[in-house]
Amino acid sequence: MNHQGRRIVALFRPYRGRVVGIALLVVAGSVLGVVNPLLTKQVFDHALFATGGPDLHKLYLYVALMVAVAIVGGVASLAQTWLANVLGQQVMRDLRSRLFGHLQQMSMRFFTATRTGEIQSRLTNDVAGVQSVVTSTATSILGNVVSFASALVAMLVLSWQLTIVALIMVPVFFWLTRLVGERRRKVTAATQRTVADLTALTEESLSVSGVLLAKVFHRQDADHTSFDADNARLAKLQVRQQMIGQSFFTVIQTFLSITPAFVYLVAGWQLGKASGITAGTVVAFTTLQTRMYFPIGQLLQTIVELRSSVAYFERIFEYLDLRPDIVEDPDPVRLDPATTRGLVRYRDVRFRYDDDPASGAPWTLDGIDLEIRPGQLAALVGPSGAGKTTLGYLLPRLYDTGEGAVEIDDVDVRRLSFESVAATVGFVTQESYLFHSTIRENLRYGRPDATDAEVEAAARAAAIHDRIMSFPDGYDTTVGERGYRLSGGEKQRVAIARVLLHDPKVLLLDEATSALDTTSERLIQSALAVAMAGRTTLAIAHRLSTIVSADVIYVVDAGKIVERGTHAELLRLDGLYASLYHEQFGSGRIEARCSDGVLMADGTVVADDQPDSLHPSVPA
């Protein structure tokens, strides 16, 4: 047995007892299958055509035995089929769960490089493809082998001469089956790759975002053409997959069908001679021959199917063999939420997305050193592509540093347990993801045990409670796929409420208001002010109006921190930050509110005597 075969067999190890029980039932059923043909010989030779006429007493006995054997065999077959299906579904459940759990452990690097449809295809189509193997193939092979062996033994007992005639071509067929199975495996692999492509195209094109994009650019026909091309290729491959070997099996079936004629011919030559062949022998032999040929045909077909299924297993094991590049420390540190301060440090951090040192790829982040003291609001600003978001991703361990360390309370995040990292760091992204579920279930995602009162309190703090209650179903309103029933600002406030309910000590904000209008931005800023209170906050910002009151601003360019300081200090420095600032607010209009009044574009602060509508609010 090769390595692949051993891995498949290993899937059944947790259910050894059930496997043994099924094997015993298969053997019992197969052995019982040869009893009635042997009883047929007795019926012919010693009951119907006994010396001196039919012997009814023996006939009654043999008929009763034949009926009893048939009933017991049927019950054994039914029990074996039920147990085999239960076992198969348990193995399928384990395989799906194992694959899903393994994929969850993969880092963001894997998911950004792999299409969602490809992952879905492996988890559904490929696992479904091995169903016949784990539910029926093993029992089919065992049952057919036992049936073949028991029929062969019985046939040899009846007549070795007739047995040689019946088996003369069988070894050749088994050899040819291996060749056909290998061709079938290659076509099956190509078919599954096409299924994955089709699944990915469907997932991308028929998602809410995909449909919206297609309608806006009027690309429905082009998408349909792409779908038809993959669909046609899949249809051709599936025809090839089904037809490969059919001519071969036709030859086999034809041979197996005409072989009894040669058996009758040889029996005719031997009948009445010293060979011991009688009419009862011929009838019993041909009955056994049928019971032997059927398992042979089934075995050959099963071998071909098994070779095809190897392609499914190869694709599943390919994912299971992927090693997560972010793993939990064998002896992880667990932070106590009650005593966690929220001190964040980046120590000489270097990172690149191509993690192969031999690639020579440049560092995306190169020598980052920064510190955010407990309760501080720190901001990251810089041109697009400077590395701000990447720097943020390192804090919750979505990626690991290539060199250096990211620390929370003087502990490298790579030494923290996954649970501690998740409990300590809350993340609000630019495009917050909501599940196709109710608002209540989306809010409770990070804290399933939260009470309704706690859910409502978080929603109120995020300034979204009143909007939720305006829906007919309130908190039980289904938000639709990716939250499309809500506006961008509403989704962001739900996401902020979700983080508030989770109650992390460190808050990471990634462009949380950059895509919103002024009104929505003010609502989000108000919600963020509550969220940041008493928390260490790292805000990645494109709109400088959102971070002018930050305790410290780090300016990132080409993966390095080139400036640091407060808003006023950086304006006086007249470097990259001042350049970015003047690009956004060169007109000299009111920039934002701060704790001391209104912050003007030139960095001066004047008394706040203007209506709120003239400027967005910024948390102090």
Tens digit of each residue's pLDDT (9 = 90 or more) over 304-317: 667 667 777 888 88
pLDDT confidence bin for 94, thresholds 50/70/90: confident
Over 50: is that where the pLDDT of 11 sits? Answer: yes
The CB-based long-range contact list for 398-403 (8 Å cut-off, 24+ gap) reads 398/107, 398/108, 399/107, 399/108, 399/109, 399/326, 399/351, 400/107, 400/325, 400/326, 401/349, 401/350, 401/351, 402/350, 402/351, 402/352, 402/355, 402/363, 403/348, 403/349, 403/350, 403/351
Q: 204 is written with which tokens?
A: 């991308």
pLDDT confidence bin for 270, thresholds 50/70/90: low
Q: 121 is written with which tokens?
A: 């295809």
Q: Does residue 515 contact residue 539 with C-beta atoms inside 8 Å?
A: no
The CB-based long-range contact list for 582-588 (8 Å cut-off, 24+ gap) reads 584/543, 584/544, 584/545, 585/544, 585/545
**SS3 of the chain: helix, strand, coil, percent, to 5:** 60, 10, 25
DSSP conformation letters of 420-487 = HHHHHEEEE-SS----SSBHHHHHGGG-TT--HHHHHHHHHHTT-HHHHHTSTTGGG-B--GGGTTS-
Q: Does residue 463 contact residue 523 with C-beta atoms inside 8 Å?
A: yes
Q: Per mean pLDDT, which range of 25-29, 149-153, 171-175, 474-478 is the poorest?
A: 171-175
Over 90: is that where the pLDDT of 554 sits? Answer: yes
Domain coordinates in residue numbering, the chain = 3-320, 344-357+367-614
Query: What is the CATH number that goes with domain 3-320?
Result: 1.20.1560.10
Tens digit of each residue's pLDDT (9 = 90 or more) over 585-609: 764 444 444 444 544 544 455 544 4
Tens digit of each residue's pLDDT (9 = 90 or more) over 272-301: 565 567 777 777 777 777 767 677 767 766
Task: Say whether 344-357+367-614 and 3-320 share the same fold.
Answer: no
Over 80: is that where the pLDDT of 565 sits? Answer: yes
Average pLDDT, the chain: 78
CATH T-level assignment (fold) for domain 344-357+367-614: Rossmann fold (3.40.50)
Over 80: is that where the pLDDT of 475 sits? Answer: yes
Query: Given its phi and psi angles, is residue 597 left (phi above 0), alpha (psi -120 to 50 degrees) or beta?
Result: left
pLDDT confidence bin for 353, thresholds 50/70/90: confident
Q: 293 is written with which tokens?
A: 């040929």
